[in-house]
Chains A and B, each alone.
Chain A
Amino acid sequence: MSVYLREYLTVVWFGVAALAIGGLLLGLAALVRPSKPSYDKGIAYESGVDPVGIGWSQSQIRYYVFALLFVIFDVEAVFLFPWAANVERYGTFGLVVMLVFIVLLLDGLVYAWKRGLLRWV
């Protein structure tokens, strides 16, 4: 196994330990806490009055638009990272290529802005 993989194996063990701690806390609580379920405790909280309708409702389409924009910019960030870490190696050519890439994406953002997609009503 390479050092690289071992590095991640350490992290995996750490994750397992975190899971174990969480499970331990929950398990311990399950042993000591009381359990007196009743109908009233099971209904959803709506400021003290009886809940109306079901809890799941449709939400605004805007959230979806922002999620789409986020995917674009997050992927852009992931493209930027390796380039930014090696900017000297790629030189001027790399700079210009990255410039084209970023400007195109900024174009998209400005377009969405201009069309009012970024306005929250």
Chain B
Amino acid sequence: MLALDPILEGPLLWTPLFIIIGKVLFIFVVGLVATMFMVWYERKVVSGMQNRIGPNKAGPFGMLQTLADGIKSFFKEDLLPTRADRIVFRLAPFLAFVPAFLLWAVIPLGGDFSNGNDGTVTWFGHVTRVQLADPPVGILWVLAMSSIGVYGIMLAGWSSGSKYPLLGSVRASAQMISYEAALGLSLAAVLLSSGTLSTAGIVAGQNSLVDWNVISTGIVPFVIFLIAVTAELNRPPFDLVEAEQELVGGFNTEYSGIRFALFFLSEFMNVVTMSAIMVTLFLGGPQPLFDIPVIPGALEGTIWFLVKLFAFLYLFVWLRATLPRLRYDQLMDLGWKVLIPISLGWFLLLAALREFSPDGDAAESLRVVVISFVVAVIATGLFAAALKVSARNRAAANQPADNTGVTV
């Protein structure tokens, strides 16, 4: 199944072009509004959890507080540290901001997926999807964009020519790449059950509640993905990047005014987009949990999508209000010694189950088991040999040091 947006087929006419432009604008508005909402929502929910009132002056329930803060940042002086690398310092906010936006391009925001429909809607006589683009490798796009986001943070810290930002950015990149590996590996489990890399295809495959990937892959990849995403977003309890007590503000210490606002915006936008990606991958995106009467199918998809999205946003805020920050070695241990082995092992288990489950013949299963056993034995042998060689090398390296009496 080659999942592509049907609107792009055939000769390019004016109506499809306007529909595409409309979608671009719509997604921009959705992205910005959702981000501003998230900032307000986080402040309000956290204050509720801490027995405070939170923003309540600007607009109803203080909802315009974010807007006020944003406007304020326009009027703030833009400081450029004398030691900074000028070009990279100015480029870095874009590198953080643009990928955060581009992630929205492949997320199905709505459409009628219920009862096995393929999620297309008809606008002005043209069949299309409620998503900007549906490339056949949408998931790779998601991973690529979240990786490019690391560059923004890394370069921002490095180019500041200051110590705290540098430390913050090096920490951030190490943390993000560590969890990116776990993220990718747990994502492979989803692909195993859905059989396509297109986001619309993945949503279409999660037809009923039991088909939702959170259940059909077992809960483990979802939990690993959630943890990895939290770390990837530098959200508490993984916010070592901007640990205020140690690093002042982290990578964006030297940024001020609107450039800082761009970082802030992209950070919160990433929270929203990553939640949307989790909804798409594991919770069926716009798939309805039950049918809401009266409301037409396409709109219903959007409503369900938003409901699931808010659940994740709340979860992120909740985590922030509840959990204390991890230590750096704990963070690395969790990433490399727990999440990556578990996600790899679970992936292998799922693949094997898939191979056996339906009407697999016994001889085939036996063969796989035997071969797996042989592989395990050989791997253990290789591992033992490697340890032996390295022990011998270390002994050899220490030998001359002992003779001359110099300690190395």
Contact A104 to B379, CB < 8 A, known contacts A4-B4, A70-B177: yes
Contact A7 B351 (CB under 8 A): no
Task: Give, as a whole number of angstroms, the nearest-CB distance from B384 to chain A.
Answer: 10
Contact B75 A11 (CB under 8 A): no
Contact A74 B180 (CB under 8 A): yes
Task: Give, as a whole number of angstroms, the nearest-CB distance from B164 to chain A.
Answer: 7
Q: How far is the CA of A96 from the CA of B194 in the complex (A)?
A: 21
- For A59, the chain B residues whose CB sits under 8 A away are 166-167, 170
Instruction: Identify the closest chain A residue to B256 (Cβ).
Output: A41
Answer yes or no: B355 CB below 8 A from chain A CBs: yes
Task: Give, as a whole number of angstroms, the nearest-CB distance from A121 to chain B.
Answer: 8
Q: Identify which of residues 94-121 in chain A touch chain B, using a CB-to-CB cut-off of 8 Å.
A: 95-96, 98-100, 102-107, 109-111, 113-115, 118-121
Contact B164 A120 (CB under 8 A): no
Contact A29 B340 (CB under 8 A): no
Task: Give, as a whole number of angstroms, the nearest-CB distance from A82 to chain B.
Answer: 8
Q: How far is the CA of A26 from the CA of B151 in the complex (A)?
A: 20
Interface size on A, residues (CB 8 A): 80
Q: How far is the CA of A121 from the CA of B330 in the complex (A)?
A: 11
Contact A33 B348 (CB under 8 A): no
Contact B375 A33 (CB under 8 A): no
Main secondary structure of the interface of A (DSSP, over half): helix
From A3, A35, A88, A118, contact of B78 by CB (8 A): A35
From A26, A41, A46, contact of B162 by CB (8 A): A46
Q: How far is the CA of A116 from the CA of B403 in the complex (A)?
A: 27
Task: Give, as a whole number of angstroms, the nearest-CB distance from B3 to chain A.
Answer: 10
Answer yes or no: B49 CB below 8 A from chain A CBs: no
Q: How far is the CA of A91 from the CA of B356 in the complex (A)?
A: 10
Contact A45 B254 (CB under 8 A): yes
Task: Give, as a whole number of angstroms, the nearest-CB distance from B204 to chain A.
Answer: 14
- For A7, the chain B residues whose CB sits under 8 A away are 4-5, 8, 133-135
Answer yes or no: B383 CB below 8 A from chain A CBs: yes
Answer yes or no: B329 CB below 8 A from chain A CBs: yes
Answer yes or no: B101 CB below 8 A from chain A CBs: yes
Contact B368 A96 (CB under 8 A): yes
Contact A77 B187 (CB under 8 A): yes
Contact B355 A73 (CB under 8 A): no
Contact A26 B258 (CB under 8 A): yes
Of B90-98, B114-122, B295-303, which stretch is located at the interface? B90-98
Contact A46 B163 (CB under 8 A): yes
Contact B340 A73 (CB under 8 A): yes
Contact A54 B383 (CB under 8 A): no
Kindly list the 10 A-B residue pairs having the minimum CB-CB distance in the complex, ordered from nearest: A77-B184, A44-B162, A120-B329, A29-B258, A42-B82, A73-B181, A55-B161, A18-B101, A70-B177, A84-B191
Residues of chain A whose beta carbon lies under 8 Å from any beta carbon of chain B:
3-4, 6-8, 10-11, 13-15, 17-19, 21-22, 25-26, 28-30, 32-36, 41-47, 51, 54-57, 59, 62-63, 66-67, 69-70, 73-74, 76-78, 80-82, 84-88, 91-92, 95-96, 98-100, 102-107, 109-111, 113-115, 118-121
Residues of chain B whose beta carbon lies under 8 Å from any beta carbon of chain A:
4-5, 8-9, 12, 20, 24, 27-28, 73-83, 93-94, 97-98, 101-102, 104-106, 132-136, 139-141, 143, 158, 160-167, 170, 173-174, 177-178, 180-181, 184-185, 187-189, 191-192, 194-197, 248, 253-254, 257-259, 261-262, 328-329, 332-333, 336-337, 340-341, 344, 347-348, 351-352, 354-355, 364, 367-368, 371-372, 375-376, 379, 382-383, 386-387, 390
Can you list 11 pairs linking A and B with CB atoms under 8 Å apart? A4-B136, A13-B24, A18-B98, A28-B74, A29-B75, A42-B81, A66-B332, A67-B173, A70-B177, A80-B184, A118-B336
